[in-house]
Amino acid sequence: MDDEIATLVSVARQQMSKQWMPNRFLDLLETGEVPKGHLRALAGELHRLVGSDRRSFSLLASRFPSAPAGDLFLTMAQGESEALRLLLDFASALGMDESELVAYEPRPLAQAYPAYLTQTALHGTRSDIALTLLANAAESGDQYTRVADALCKRYGFDEQAVGHFRFFAATPQELLDQAAETLRTGLAGGDDPGEAVRTARMVHAYELAFWRALSEDIVRGRAGADLARAAEGR
Task: Inform me whether the pLDDT recorded for 119 exceeds 70.
Answer: yes
Reported as a pLDDT band with limits 50, 70 and 90, residue 223 is: very low
Confidence at residue 225, expressed as pLDDT on a 0 to 100 scale: 40
Q: What is the 3-state secondary structure (H, E, C) of the chain?
A: CCHHHHHHHHHHHHHHHCCCCCCHHHHHHHCCCCCHHHHHHHHHHHHHHHHHHHHHHHHHHHHCCCCCHHHHHHHHHHHHHHHHHHHHHHHHHCCCCHHHHHHCCCCHHHHHHHHHHHHHHHHCCHHHHHHHHHHHHHHHHHHHHHHHHHHHHHHCCCCCCCHHHHHHHCCCHHHHHHHHHHHHHHHHCCCCHHHHHHHHHHHHHHHHHHHHHHHHHHHHHHHHHHHHHHHHCC
Confidence at residue 21, expressed as pLDDT on a 0 to 100 scale: 87
Q: What is the pTM of this model?
A: 0.91
Reported as a pLDDT band with limits 50, 70 and 90, residue 228 is: very low
**Per-residue pLDDT tens digits for 158-196:** 999 999 999 999 999 999 999 999 999 999 999 999 999
Confidence at residue 219, expressed as pLDDT on a 0 to 100 scale: 80
**Per-residue pLDDT tens digits for 129-164:** 999 999 999 999 999 999 999 999 999 999 999 999
**Per-residue pLDDT tens digits for 61-97:** 999 999 999 999 999 999 999 999 999 999 999 999 9
